[in-house]
Amino acid sequence: MTIYSKEFKYTIIKRMMPLNNESVGAISRETGLSEGTLHSCKKRGHRSNGL
């Protein structure tokens, strides 16, 4: 299992949030992360980081 840094996770989550609103599909293709993983990260990140 790959472990990502907090900075990487924050950057990815921020890209999915309003102002940037990048699509999960585009980020998935770019990073190789599954769309399901990105949706989960977005949900958790939004709650825990107050984004």
Query: Is the sign of the CA dihedral 34, 36, 42, 44 positive or negative?
Result: negative
d(CA 30, CA 48): 25
pLDDT digits (tens, 9 = 90+) for 1-51: 788 888 998 899 999 988 999 999 999 999 999 999 999 988 887 666 544
What pLDDT score was predicted for residue 26?
Answer: 97
Q: Of 15, 12, 18, 20, whose CA–CA distance to 41 is shortest?
A: 12
Read off the pTM: 0.77
Q: How far apart are the C-alpha atoms of 26 and 46, rounded to whole Å?
A: 19
Q: What is the pLDDT of residue 43?
A: 84
